Amino acid sequence: MTDSAGTTAGTTDPLDRFFAPVASWFREVFVEPTVVQSQAWDAVSRGEHALVVAPTGSGKTLAAFLWALSRLTSAGLMQDGAGETARKGTRVLYISPLKALGVDVERNLRVPLAGIARTAAATGTDIAPVTVGVRSGDTPQSERAKLLRTPPDVLITTPESLYLMLTSKAAGTLVDVDTVIVDEVHAVAGTKRGAHLALSLERLDALVADHGGSVQRIGLSATVNPVDTVASFLGGDRPVTVVNPPAHKLWDVKVRSVVPDFREPPEVEPLVIDGEDSEDAPLGDSPVDDALIGPSLIGEGVGGITDAGSGRRVASGVDRESALPQQKSVWPHVQRAIYEQVMANRSTLVFVNARRTAERLTGALNELWAEEHDPESLAAPTRRDPAQLMAQSGTVAAAPQVIARAHHGSVSKDERADIEQALKEGSLRCVVATSSLELGIDMGLVDHVVQVGAPPSVSSAVQRAGRAGHAVGAVSRPPVVPRPRRAPPAPPGNG
């Protein structure tokens, strides 16, 4: 029986059911749980399968993990009705739709584990050590062999890696799994990837059942709809408790056009560098976008469009000496508007819909910074391309002219981690990302989020906007910068 607060009858504090060092650490850091955490713990502690739905920043991931951490740290020390026994293999499986999200969770799990250990040491309480591992497409073979020899208590993986494990001798490390956490379940439900994951979960259940165990499933999402359908996807033929407390996320979304008329954008005032005119590059991510630049501009330069014949920069994406019809570009205005917002905030996430756009916008932002603070670097004949600097993780963060870096699926694992950490530490002002940062990755306290163009879906828009105001009760204020409309198809020729 539960009351309206979601706690077990007779229990005044939902944390009272946890192992003492775990409860003490949580109270010290967070004081009290959120509503969704209290209700999630009520369902999970009873062994029920659960779908936890709540806005970003409400503590869903910690709600899913904390009960498992309580069981793991108290293994052999405290009986909680489940009869804790000696651990042999992985006990908790966390499945992430993104490799980057898995690495982020692994990093953030070490904080509560270290805090629980300190709390236990201060009170003289013995706790069992908890190990954490990550297996994904980025994991080297040597590390995979290590995970096979010594399975971690908590394994963070992806749907694809789970399938490969179940199909290999690594399946033997999963026979003791008792908890599966599927994060950002909305990203896979209703897709081919989700159908593949559902099959893997059933295979995992059968594997564990053959060894006398059972698996509890916990799904997490901020944007899932309809809830009952996704709950059915998560549980299969098993009943699932939906934890979906009323939540009032505050939004302040504004669409801000950077020009009064997209059909006739004004020219950008040229910047004078060593006596020569220079302009920013029109930015596109498809052949249609490039068509807006003008047919005579066939040589690209980052931060400017270069006429292939003369090598000069072309103002506002228009070659004034060309006799061909020209159309001015709105992208220089987009670049400058985003640059101004980046400079007005400590940390900014800019979301775009294509990797090429992310790279080119990153280069443009860095050139605008250089034009304002180090114009001599732009005139240097051996100046390096800001877009190519993204791959040099050791030197980019220290380079004063680099205020933005690109983050997407083609960026290496180590580079992504370096970019995320730089933004958290405040040594980087801006990250231009695709969908690689929209799902739950902890980017610290992001001041500002900008969406360039229409997001690919409503759920994507909610996830991206929620990166700013990523806390309970915070207001998310993501300006949306509209993109130019697509160019109309050329009329058929007379010949």
The string of pLDDT tens digits covering residues 473-484 is 566 667 777 776
Cα–Cα distance between 109 and 113 in angstroms, integer? 6
**pLDDT tier at 48, thresholds 50, 70, 90:** very high
Cα–Cα distance between 475 and 469 in angstroms, integer? 5
Cα–Cα distance between 304 and 316 in angstroms, integer? 9
User: Who has greater pLDDT, 175 or 332?
Assistant: 175
CA 458, distance to chain mean position in Å, is 16
Cα–Cα distance between 335 and 355 in angstroms, integer? 16
- At 359, give phi and psi (nearest 5°): -65, -45
In sign, the C-alpha dihedral spanning 217, 218, 220, 225 is positive
Cα–Cα distance between 58 and 33 in angstroms, integer? 9
Instruction: Point out the least confidently predicted range of 26-30, 145-149, 187-191, 386-390.
Output: 386-390
Cα–Cα distance between 234 and 389 in angstroms, integer? 42
Question: What six digits make up the tokens of 81?
Answer: 């009705």
Name the nearest CA neighbour of 99 among 420, 441, 432: 441
User: Who has greater pLDDT, 287 or 212?
Assistant: 212
Helices (H), 74-217: 99-123, 141-149, 159-166, 192-210
What DSSP string describes 276-302?
EEE-PPP--SSHHHHHTT-TT--EEET
In sign, the C-alpha dihedral spanning 192, 198, 201, 205 is negative
User: Who has greater pLDDT, 458 or 16?
Assistant: 16
* pLDDT per position as a tens digit, 401-433: 588 999 887 787 778 778 878 887 778 888 898
The answer, yes or no, to whether residue 314 has pLDDT greater than 60, is: no
Amino acid identity, position 297: L
Look up residue 468 and give its DSSP letter: B
Cα–Cα distance between 266 and 287 in angstroms, integer? 23
Q: Which helix (H) or strand (E) holds 378?
A: helix 375-379
Instruction: Point out the least confidently predicted range of 212-226, 374-388, 415-429.
Output: 374-388
Q: Which helix (H) or strand (E) holds 65?
A: helix 60-73
Question: What six digits make up the tokens of 486?
Answer: 């697509």
Look up residue 225 and give its DSSP letter: S
* pLDDT per position as a tens digit, 225-273: 789 999 999 999 999 999 998 866 666 677 777 777 666 667 665 433 3
Give the pLDDT confidence score for residue 43 in this predicted structure: 94
Q: Domains along the chain?
A: 14-247 (3.40.50.300), 331-481 (3.40.50.300)
Question: What's the whole-model pTM score?
Answer: 0.63
Cα–Cα distance between 231 and 229 in angstroms, integer? 5
